[in-house]
Amino acid sequence: MKTILVAAIALLSLTIFGSSGWAQSEDSQQGIAPTLRANSFFTLVGSISGTFIATPTTLPSGACSGGTAGFAAVCATGHTCSCLEEEGAKFTSTVIGKGTANVFITVDETAGYGLPVVSNPDHPTVCHPFVAEFDVTTKSDTEELEAVGGETLRQTTLQYGGAFGAEATTLFTDEAGSFILTQQSDSSFRMPFTATAANFE
């Protein structure tokens, strides 16, 4: 009787753990982390920070040439663009966790808008459109974020406000958010962001 009881317990344990392992494997194949609720929305709050390099790699137009998806590697025909680049910037976010981000921002210097600063009416327009790509790598997720927005000259800083969407993510099925990146005079920057993500099956 004792032998039969031990065998029954062992069989029950194998059934329970075997089912759990099968469910986890199925979730992984669908690209959904087992620790996240399926068919749910998540609020992501985080930031990217670093220092733009002095000599970014650019195309002849001045646009950034880097990025996994090449979203920032564009400049309108006949326009002059400039590039901001930082690889290995510090990334942190709720849900996703900590990691690194490669940042590529292409600013269209020709398509300016907004009035010059009052103290210097001969100064060029203070705002310019931009496209950007943020390639994020953390322990739990890899993302390609594509963004558009506008650059504005402040008294002592440059601000880049915009919105992004996920071209690719290994953790979610969809993600979109907004951000404001502030660049200091020494080229250091910090970009707080807020996003909504989902992992529908």
Residue numbers of the domain that contains 132:
33-198
Residues 135 and 189 grouped into a single domain: yes
Q: How many domains does the chain have?
A: 2
Per-residue pLDDT tens digits for 87-102: 999 999 999 999 999 9
Same domain, 85 and 44: yes
The pLDDT of residue 121 is: 65
- Note whether 89 and 133 are same-domain residues: yes
Higher pLDDT, 85 or 32: 85
CA 188 to chain centre: 18
Q: Do residues 172 and 106 both lie within one domain?
A: yes
Same domain (yes/no): 84, 24 = no
Residues 3 and 59 in one domain: no
Distance, CA of 132 to CA of 127 (rounded, Å): 16
CB 172 within 8 A of CB 201: no
Q: Does residue 187 surpass a pLDDT of 90?
A: yes
The 10s digit of each residue's pLDDT in 24-60 is: 333 333 334 447 888 999 999 999 999 999 999 999 9
Verify that 16 and 90 share a domain, yes or no.
no
Confidence of residue 192 (pLDDT cuts 50, 70, 90): very high
Q: Are residues 87 and 147 in the same domain?
A: yes
What does 116-180 look like in DSSP terms, one character per residue? Answer: PPTT-TTSPPSEEEEEEEEEEEESS-EEEEEEEEEEEE-SS-EEEEEEEEEEEESS-SEEEEEEE
Measure the CA–CA gap between 161 and 189, rounded to whole angstroms: 13
Do 105 and 68 lie in one domain? The reply is yes
The answer to whether residues 52 and 11 belong to one domain is no
The pLDDT score that the predictor gives to residue 120 is: 66
pTM recorded for the entire structure: 0.79
pLDDT at 194 over 90: yes
Do 182 and 92 share a structural domain? yes
Whether 70 and 168 map to the same domain: the answer is yes
